[in-house]
Amino acid sequence: MEVYDAMRARTSVRAYAQTPVSADSLERILESGRISPSAMNYQPWHFIVVKDLEKRKAMSKARYAGFLKEAPVVIVGCGDKKRSPEWHVVDTTIALQNMVMTATAEGLGTCWIGSFDENLIRNILKIPDHLAVVALLAVGHSRKKLDLMAALAKSKSRKRISEVASYEEFGLAEKRA
Ligand SMILES: Cc1cc2nc3c(=O)[nH]c(=O)nc-3n(C[C@H](O)[C@H](O)[C@H](O)COP(=O)(O)O)c2cc1C
């Protein structure tokens, strides 16, 4: 799948089938994180793959994270604040989004989770102090048919380009020749 098509096809999935994520797909997803860019190439991240149901149930307690108990894989993105105090959040976020796009190209659904209790996650997964929990990703096969072509055609509920981008200076529209 072309990157642009994957961008258009991606949508947050909150209902998952119990089909496991293949080892090959998971490897490609993690590899996409591993090779991501980072400031000074510090790679200030660590990704914890959680499949265990009891752990996922415990992590799903947050308000908008109930479906974590259904998603067969949860990837917990941690940023190394000691290694890169300034950029660990940005770098880890980039790596996680690259994983999202690879998962999409693999035909998998994903959802970012920002709704989590950091202390709870730290305790469940025994995360050391130098790592901050940046975000979680739910990954799995969508329970509803993930019709990529339909998703492609779906008009996204987004601001218009003119509201979010300017040319040459803030607020200027593109000059057409
Ligand atoms: C940083 C971040 C945190 C998010 N946290 C949650 C969350 O805790 N629970 C949830 O259901 N969706 C969460 N989302 C998904 C957004 O609600 C979703 O991306 C947005 O509504 C746009 O919809 P789309 O992803 O289907 O295009 C999060 C997305 C991002 C980028």
Segment-wise mean pLDDT, segments of 10 residues, the chain, 177 residues: 90 95 98 98 98 96 91 98 98 98 96 96 98 98 73 72 95 88
Handedness of CA 71, 25, 134, 5 (dihedral sign): negative
Q: Is residue 129 part of a domain?
A: yes
- 65 CB near ligand 1 (under 6 Å): yes
Q: Is residue 169 part of a domain?
A: no
Question: Domain total for the chain?
Answer: 1
The predicted pLDDT at position 154 comes to 59
Mutate to test the pocket of ligand 1, among 12, 67, 118, 134 (most ligand atoms within 8 A of CB): 12
In angstroms, the CA 110 to CA 74 distance is 9
Residues 6+ apart with CB under 8 A from 134: 77, 78, 79, 88, 89, 92, 93, 96
Handedness of CA 75, 67, 72, 149 (dihedral sign): negative
- The alpha carbon of 74 is separated from its chain's Cα centroid by a whole number of angstroms, namely 10
User: Amino acid identity of 67?
Assistant: F
Mutate to test the pocket of ligand 1, among 111, 133, 146, 157 (most ligand atoms within 8 A of CB): 111
User: Amino acid identity of 144?
Assistant: K
Q: Is residue 113 part of a domain?
A: yes
Q: Is residue 177 part of a domain?
A: no
- For residue 39, the domain's CATH number is 3.40.109.10
Q: Is residue 176 part of a domain?
A: no
Nearest CA to ligand 1 atom 22: 12
- 73 CB near ligand 1 (under 6 Å): no
Residue-level length of the chain: 177
pTM to 2 decimal places? 0.94
Q: By three-state DSSP, how is residue 24 classified?
A: helix
Contact, 88 vs 44, CB < 8 A?
yes
Q: By three-state DSSP, how is residue 50 classified?
A: strand
Q: How far is the CA of 12 from the centre of ligand 1 (A)?
A: 7
The predicted pLDDT at position 157 comes to 84
Q: What range does the domain containing 160 cover?
A: 3-164
- What is the Rg, in whole angstroms, of the alpha carbon atoms belonging to the chain? 18
Q: Is residue 172 part of a domain?
A: no
Residue 56, CA distances (Å) to 61, 70, 73, 93, 118 in order: 9, 8, 9, 21, 14
CA atoms within 13 A on the CB side of 69: 10
In angstroms, the CA 138 to CA 14 distance is 8
Nearest CA to ligand 1 atom 15: 112
- 66 CB near ligand 1 (under 6 Å): no
- 111 CB near ligand 1 (under 6 Å): yes
- 162 CB near ligand 1 (under 6 Å): no
The predicted pLDDT at position 144 comes to 81
Report CA dihedral (93, 95, 99, 100) to the nearest 10 degrees. Answer: 20
Q: Is residue 175 part of a domain?
A: no
Q: Is residue 158 part of a domain?
A: yes
